[in-house]
Amino acid sequence: MPSPLVSFTGAHAPDRRDRVMCGDVGITTYEWGPVDGPPLLVVHGGFDFARTFDVFAPLLAAAGWRVVGFDQRGHGDSDHVELYSWDADIRDAMAVLDHVADGRPIPVVGHSKGGSMMVQLADAQPYRFSHLVNIDGIPYQRRIPDVAEHVRTKMMASEITAWLDHRRRTAGATRRPGTIDELAARRGRMNPRLSLEWLRYLVTVGAREDADGWRWKIDPSMRFGGFGPWRPEWTVLRLPGLPMPFLAVFGTEPEEMGWGTEPRSVLSYLPADGRAEILDGVGHFVHIERPHRVAELVLDVVGSPT
Amino acid sequence: MTVPVTQVVHNRVTLALHRLRDGDGRPLLLLHGLGESSPPSVPTWASAWVGPVAALDFTGHGASTIPRGGGYTAEILLADADAALGQLGEATVLGRGLGAYIALQLAGTRPEAVLGAVLADGPGLAGGATFPTSQSFFALPPAPVAPDPYALVELSRDLRPADYAAAFVRLAATGSRLEEPITVAAVHRPPWLVAVADEPGVAEASVADALRRYAGA
């Protein structure tokens, strides 16, 4: 892997990069650690990409794991396609699991949307998982309190209309170019707790440099937020039946990209072989703010091959 | 005889909008059911409409683009129908099965442009479970021809909670200039459609009666 233009203490580019085909959709994978080590999958969140694990993954790799990450479709260096959906993302993850694990159960660590997706896959196909770690990826209830029904309906209307208007004009759209600092500042508005140095590093591994400036690689047709029939509390209802050792790691500081879940409200849903760690004073990107502590917690559950 | 087809661009998908009958006045937009495609001419079940008639092939169906690797949701098909509506301007919408659910969503989200939505029986009317299940996932080979198998699988199990569907009725009733902007003509009533039929602003009538009434609106 080429060296990034901006360095960040503790960040290591992946040792290997590969391409997995999920049908005719190309998914880019990254690996840190020994090629002959036992595989461990890390799954990024929405609007992120695998290289956001550049600090966290090497800490697990140092313990002997062959850590495998992948860019979800439309993110990072994976294909931009016609359609995006939760189920399609889960299928793509299955293709990567088939590629790296060949049917054997392996440990999986998922952050945010990636964590919630893996809870659903672990419930549907538990044989793929030896352990499951969920980093701030358990949505709970997102009802807006003290709002009258007609106001709620109006909010839904404006959300859907904005989304449809976006769909009408998204053909041929490109992301706005900028300097490394400008893109870092834009990302910083959604991730106010992350340092500028980290955000600048992320730009150099998650954006591409065109003639007129840097652009985030994420598909411009994708849009933050959205609407639909999915209920956040459905993830938590899948937890109690999970058969594999399970660890949930929560941050407590609310952030725009987080689920807003109050950790204590989901503790009673943990599976029989499950535990939760709540890290006070940490935001949604728990593994980025406290990489060593989270790696330590993960290794405590999955063990160290070396 | 082939009918003229207008290409409607929806992001990376090109949709086929079949102009089954041209003419003056507000058009009727037909939305087909799951696994179907637009009919080659104005079908007998829509013959009560005397004005122009257009029919849309949803993504992965008929002459529209088959996407790579699936990823279908009802909401994407709503955006398909919305792109067609953007070409047609004001329209009355008649949906069969899956198309009925999309017609409901379109009536709720574009209430000023949809002058009446008729929800009729057809394939894909019910949708999937509306509670968490352990429903599994599997990859399918690329589809050489429509309909896309991913569309058949994903849109036969997409989530249609009753309260979510009913919210589209309320949006339609709030924003439409019609008193009853939705008409349920379907005999089969899955839970989402039972909830829709119970909402104020929803009529129950045959397809023919509903079309005649909306034609005069």
The tens-digit pLDDT sequence of chain B (217 residues) is 689 999 999 999 999 999 999 999 999 999 999 999 999 999 999 999 999 999 999 999 999 999 999 999 999 999 999 999 999 999 999 999 999 999 999 999 999 999 999 999 999 999 998 888 999 999 999 889 999 999 999 999 999 999 999 999 999 999 999 999 999 999 999 999 999 999 999 999 999 999 999 999 8
The tens digit of pLDDT for each residue in A56-83 reads 999 999 999 999 999 999 999 999 999 9
Given a cut of 70, whether residue A147 has pLDDT beyond it is: no
DSSP state of A159: H
Instruction: Report residue A302: phi and psi, to 5°.
Output: -95, -15
User: Other C-beta atoms within 10 Å of A1: how many?
Assistant: 12
Distance from CA of A165 to the nearest CA of B (A): 9
Closest CA to B158 of A154, A258, A83, A223: A83
Q: Given this model, what pLDDT does residue A1 score?
A: 59
Chain A residues closer than 8 Å to B15 by CB: none
d(Cα B77, Cα B53) in Å, to the nearest integer?
19
Closest CA to B8 of B74, B63, B84: B84
Residues 177-216 of A with CB under 8 A from B: none
CA quadruple A56, A59, A60, A65: dihedral, nearest 10: 130
Of B83, B137, B171, the CB nearest to A87: B137
d(Cα B125, Cα B185) in Å, to the nearest integer?
12
Q: Given this model, what pLDDT does residue B164 score?
A: 93
A24 touching chain B per CB within 8 A:
yes
The tens digit of pLDDT for each residue in B86-111 reads 999 999 999 999 999 999 999 999 99
Residues 6+ apart with CB under 8 A from A152: A144
Percent of chain A at pLDDT exceeding 90: 79
What's the mean pLDDT when you consider all of chain A? 93
Between helix B74-88 and helix A149-169 the angle, nearest 10°, is 70
Q: Given this model, what pLDDT does residue A141 score?
A: 67
Q: Given this model, what pLDDT does residue B106 score?
A: 98
H-run or E-run covering A69 = strand A66-70
Chain A residues closer than 8 Å to B137 by CB: 87, 90-91, 94, 121, 124-125
Q: Given this model, what pLDDT does residue A182 score?
A: 97
User: Other C-beta atoms within 10 Å of B38: how many?
Assistant: 24
Percent of chain A at pLDDT exceeding 70: 95
Q: CB B83 to CB A234 under 8 A?
A: no
d(Cα A21, Cα A13) in Å, to the nearest integer?
22
Contact A239, A232 (CB under 8 A): no
Instruction: Tell me the one-letter amino acid at A200.
Output: R
Distance from CA of B5 to the nearest CA of A (A): 19
Q: A186 is written with which tokens?
A: 């834009």
Q: Given this model, what pLDDT does residue B1 score?
A: 65
Residues 3-42 of B with CB under 8 A from A: 9-13
Residue of A nearest to B153 (CA): A87
Pure H helices in B89-217 = 98-109, 149-154, 162-175, 191-197, 207-215
Which stretch of A28-37, A246-255, B197-206 has the lowest confidence by average pLDDT? Answer: A246-255
Q: Given this model, what pLDDT does residue B2 score?
A: 84
Average pLDDT of the residues in A210-218 = 97
d(Cα B15, Cα A303) in Å, to the nearest integer?
52
The tens digit of pLDDT for each residue in A85-127 reads 999 999 999 999 999 998 899 999 999 999 999 999 999 999 9
Q: CA separation (Å) from A85 to A108, A120, A251, B69, B104?
A: 21, 14, 26, 10, 21
Residue that the structure tokens 């000023």 belong to = B112
Q: Which residues pair with B10 in a beta bridge?
A: B13
Of B131, B135, B171, the CB nearest to A157: B171
Average pLDDT of the residues in A39-59 = 97
d(Cα A251, Cα A263) in Å, to the nearest integer?
8
Chain B residues closer than 8 Å to A94 by CB: 137, 139
Q: Chain A to chain B, count of Cβ pairs less than 8 Å apart?
A: 131
User: Buried b / exposed e across A90-129, counting CB within 10 Å, b at 16+?
Assistant: bbbbbbbbebbbeeeebbbbbbbbbbbbbbbbbbbbeebb
- Ramachandran region, residue B63 (left: φ > 0; alpha: ψ -120 to 50; beta: rest): alpha
d(Cα A289, Cα A13) in Å, to the nearest integer?
18
H-run or E-run covering A287 = helix A286-289
Distance from CA of B44 to the nearest CA of A (A): 32
Q: Given this model, what pLDDT does residue B143 score?
A: 86
DSSP state of A150: H
**Burial classification of residue B132, based on how many CB atoms lie within 10 Å of its CB (0-12 exposed, 13-18 middle, 19 or more buried):** middle
Contact A47, A19 (CB under 8 A): no
Average pLDDT of the residues in A238-249 = 97
d(Cα A286, Cα A273) in Å, to the nearest integer?
22
pLDDT category of residue A224 using cuts at 50, 70 and 90: confident
Interface confidence (ipTM) of the complex = 0.95
Contact A302, A249 (CB under 8 A): no
Q: Given this model, what pLDDT does residue A234 score?
A: 87
Q: What is the 3-state secondary structure (H, E, C) of A231-276?
A: CCHHHHHHCCCCCCCEEEEEECCCCCCCCCCCHHHHHHHCCCCEEE
DSSP state of B16: E
Distance from CA of B199 to the nearest CA of A (A): 14
Residue of A nearest to B83 (CA): A168
Q: CB A164 to CB B109 under 8 A?
A: yes
Q: Helix, strand, or coil here: B117?
A: strand
Q: Given this model, what pLDDT does residue A175 score?
A: 93
Q: Helix, strand, or coil here: A161?
A: helix
Closest CA to A115 of A55, A44, A40: A44
Chain B residues closer than 8 Å to A73 by CB: 69, 71
Between helix A149-169 and helix B162-175 the angle, nearest 10°, is 90
Contact A23, A68 (CB under 8 A): no
Average pLDDT of the residues in A250-278 = 90
Distance from CA of A91 to the nearest CA of B (A): 6
Q: CB B137 to CB A229 under 8 A?
A: no
Of B69, B137, B174, the CB nearest to A124: B137
Q: CB B167 to CB A153 under 8 A?
A: yes
Q: Given this model, what pLDDT does residue B123 score?
A: 98
Q: B12 is written with which tokens?
A: 């990376």
More confident residue, B38 or A231: B38
